[in-house]
Amino acid sequence: MKLFLKIVLTITFLTNPVFAETFMDALKRAYDTNPELNAEREIINISEQELKISKGSYLPTITLSGSKSDEDTEKLTNRDGSNATITDVNPSTKSIVITQTLIDFGRGAEFKKSKIGIKLAKAKLLKKEQEILYKSVETYTGLISANEKLKINRSNVNLLDRQVETDRIRLERGNISLSDVAQSESSLAGAQAKLIQAENDFLTSKLNYENVIGKLNDPELLDKSSIIELSLPNELNSAIEISKKNNPDLIIAQLEYEQSKKDTASARSDLAPSATLSFDRSKTDDLSTTYDEREKDTLKATVTWPFFSGGKNIASLRKNQSLELQKNLLFDNMTLKNQTDVASAWSNYQSNKSLLNSVRAQVNAAEIANEGIMAEYNSGSDRTTLEVIQSNSLLLNAQISLADSERNYILSQFNLLKSVGLLNSDHLKIR
């Protein structure tokens, strides 16, 4: 009894779907560990530090300095020409300087640009997130499809191998000709070649999976049934409207245009005056024999106006104005491209959905036809070897088409989701 329970528990452990690599498990693993995505996350940290640097322009700067020296002088000459002897003079100086920028039109533009930079970094992270998640969908479905095709081709080789053996027996009995056997053998050789290709495709798909998602010991652990059915927009116009708010490419183009405007404002500020206020307190000890200590306070206001700089500032302004115009044109172009991409993704989704239903019907019809032809052939009817081979070939092609169509339909769903900007961890709830 104990042995029986042990066997049952072992079988349960090995077959329990909990241990399968579900579709969402794979997406989450890629989201958490993909190096490209992690590298993009660091850019947000960089942008946040750049914002802090820009904030520093609004705060005063405080500089502390000090010096001390040791002078051993035996003879000095006073101003009246008399001599004085001083030994072991130790002069020291301490100072504190506080400087505050009062007027600088460029610092406001730089600060605003840095704030936009954080939004831009987040938008680029979303873009990279969409790319990695879509790659994950491609590799997950690609490995499942490659595994299915491998099984289909392997089954076809086994079937044709049995067909060759049957035909050889029928040849010995005089029921078929040598050419019939040759047709079977030729078909088997072709199927074996396709099997080799399917094996290579499977290995490539497995490597792609591990590069994008991570290590996978057993592809059989992938759970095709775990692939979720997405909630997608009901119509094209709705999809386009969603994309206007969420597509990261569109958001990036808009933010880059906003940054270019701040660059223009910063370049224009280089032609404007700036003003600073500084306070300097210094203290000097043991300067001479006349006095031992001196303190000095200096309050200074400085106005700077770059009246002429060889035309560099003007050229810089015009350069940034041209860049601003370029970014505006790119944003307008991206707006149009976004609509085209969404429409294309929508059309592709609809066509793949219809195609999948047609291919399923094709496979069903091919299976029924092949069963009938095989039964008639084995019963000794007038069915020829060529007809059997053709029937097997039609069924094989239909099964391969079904594997491709199922994958293409899944990919078209996620591509549509990607085009509208919703292929992210928040929408898929994988965080």
So what's the pLDDT on residue 69?
59
Residue 102, pLDDT above cutoff 60: no
pLDDT tier, 72 (very low <50, low <70, confident <90, very high otherwise): low
pLDDT above 90 coverage of the chain, percent: 44
Instruction: Inform me whether the pLDDT recorded for 99 exceeds 50.
Output: yes
Mean pLDDT of 9-15: 38
Least confident of 149-153, 163-167, 255-259, 299-303: 299-303
Comparing 94-108, 150-164, 181-195, 331-345, which segment has the lowest mean pLDDT?
94-108
Q: What is the pLDDT of residue 132?
A: 95
Cα–Cα distance for residue pair 24/428, rounded to 1 Å: 9
Tell me the average pLDDT across 30-36: 91
- The whole-number average pLDDT for the span 318-341 is 92
Evaluate if residue 16 carries a pLDDT over 50: no
Q: Which residue has the higher pLDDT, 23 or 310?
A: 23
Q: How far is CA 163 from CA 149, 180, 198, 200, 377, in A?
A: 21, 11, 21, 25, 11
Rounded CA-CA distance 168/175 in Å is 10
| Adjacency order of strands within the sheet including 293-304 | 61-68, 92-103, 274-285, 293-304
Residue 14: predicted pLDDT: 39
| Residues 210-268 pLDDT 10s | 999 999 989 999 999 999 888 899 899 999 999 999 999 999 999 999 999 888 888 77
Q: Give the pLDDT score at 411.
A: 97
**Structure confidence at residue 8 as a pLDDT band (50, 70, 90):** very low
- Residue 179 CA to residue 191 CA, distance in Å, equals 18
Span 403-418, average pLDDT: 96
Mean pLDDT of the chain: 82
Burial environment of residue 217 by CB neighbours within 10 A (0 to 12, 13 to 18, 19 or more): exposed
Tens digits of per-residue pLDDT, 261-304? 888 888 777 666 666 667 677 777 755 555 566 777 777 777 67
Query: What pLDDT score does 4 carry?
Result: 37
Bridge-based pairing state of the strands 76-77 and 83-84: antiparallel
DSSP string, 3-62: HHHHHHHHHHHHH-GGGSB-HHHHHHHHHHH-HHHHHHHHHHHHHHHHHHHHHGGGS-EE
pLDDT average, residue stretch 117-143: 94
Spatial neighbors of 104 by CB under 8 A, at least 6 apart, are: 57, 269, 274, 275
Work out the average pLDDT over 409-421.
96
What residue ranges define each of the domains in the chain, with the CATH number in brackets? 20-59+104-271+315-428 (1.20.1600.10), 61-103+272-305 (2.20.200)
pLDDT surpasses 60 at 131: yes
pLDDT of residue 89: 56
pLDDT band at 209 (very low <50, low <70, confident <90, very high): very high
- Asked if pLDDT for residue 95 goes beyond 90, the answer is no
Q: Does the pLDDT at position 62 exceed 80?
A: no
Comparing 303 with 182, the larger pLDDT belongs to 182
pLDDT in tens, 353-407: 999 999 999 999 999 999 998 888 888 777 888 888 888 889 999 999 999 999 9
Question: Which letter does DSSP use for residue 228 in this model?
Answer: P
